[in-house]
A = this chain, B = another copy of it.
């Protein structure tokens, strides 16, 4: 693209670095911002800078938090003997939205992915093991994506966690609620049959 202004080109190039944003979308977003008041644009850019500069993570579960220890970790209403291991803050939000979980979390900050150069040392693994040593944990639930990276991470963590006398579980995999059989992919359907559960158990929610 030929830009009539270096400033414009620069701003578009920065937007186009965002995931899923191409040059055309970037240009559309930048022109939208150009049409806004200066104060609006100032608010937009300072919200981002401020977030990046002042962001803090909970010292216990490593979730994004404004306090030293996040609300969930400092709540007395939560079950602190139950830890749900997730990839990032989005997963915490998704699980909190279900209102089905009352334990605490541990945010790894990613998944093991040799292709992307992410190893166990890049994740919050050591602090998870420290938590298991010190606290009275009864169960660890892995709520990771059902991908190669997720499975690799579970496999690695499971080996590390075997030394502790706690039960280790993963969230159930199978066909989604409301899912029609004919649209389910073969792997999911095949595994759903192989890991079928007694009907009485499937009702216990």
Contact = CB atoms under 8 A, between A and B. Distances in A.
Interface of A: 1-8, 10-11, 13-15, 17-21, 25, 27-34, 36, 38, 41-56, 58, 63-66, 70-72, 88-90, 92-93, 96-97
B97 A64 contact: no
A1 B15 CA distance: 25
B19 A29 contact: yes
Given A14-B47, A49-B41, A51-B10, A71 B31 contact: no
A10 B54 CA distance: 13
Given A4-B64, A4-B89, A70-B4, A52 B41 contact: yes
A141 B28 CA distance: 24
Nearest to A1: B93
A34 B51 contact: yes
Contacts of A52: 33-34, 36, 38, 41-42
B17 A44 contact: yes
Interface centre among A1, A52, A63 (most CB of B within 10 A): A52
Contacts of A2: 93, 96-97
A189 B45 CA distance: 46
Given A45-B48, A46-B45, A51-B8, A29 B33 contact: no
A71 B2 CA distance: 12
A11 B41 contact: no
A89 B90 CA distance: 37
B45 A49 contact: yes
B7 A66 contact: yes
